Amino acid sequence: MELYLMQHGQAVTEEEDPERPLSREGVAQVQASAAAMKWMGIALDDLICSPGKRAHQTAALVAEGVNYPYSDIVRTEKVKATVPPDETLAFLRQVQESRAVLIAGHLPSLARVAALLLGGDKAVAIRFENGGLCRIDTADLAPGEAELVFHIPARQMKRLGGKG
């Protein structure tokens, strides 16, 4: 499985809106990343996001950018910010036969999932940023057995997508 991990785009402050939707900059970040994904030839079999507004907006923008059916986006509590990574991996096992899966989610869960897949019980630090993209290849979602293929910050995704 090609597992893509994307932290939601930049959100407005809680004071501006308690639901914290994407800011204008966050929308632009994700649109640029989606354009880069299309340019890179990434075709998703599954697109998963947390129930949070900004994660769902991120998933929707990615879906639009890579021609993934909006109605097929899966919203689940299993990729929320504080869910233990082993619970996220258990959820992913339901789509284990998929070739390419993207999670649009939050920190710290995305970093913890990546660390578990790459390092198993060893500490691995991976810095995520809004709208960036990480690809981890894994045959069976076994901790410590995955391979980091790339980790691209949002500003580089913007250049790849021809928007920067």
**CB distance 104 to 48 below 8 Å:** yes
Give the CATH number for residue 93: 3.40.50.1240
Provide the residue range defining the domain that includes 106: 2-160
pLDDT-based confidence at 161, cuts 50/70/90?
Answer: confident
Could you give the number of structural domains in the chain? 1
- At residue 164, the pLDDT reads 64
pLDDT digits (tens, 9 = 90+) for 10-61: 999 999 999 999 999 999 999 999 999 999 999 999 999 999 999 999 999 9
pTM of the model as a whole: 0.96
CA distance 128 to 54: 16
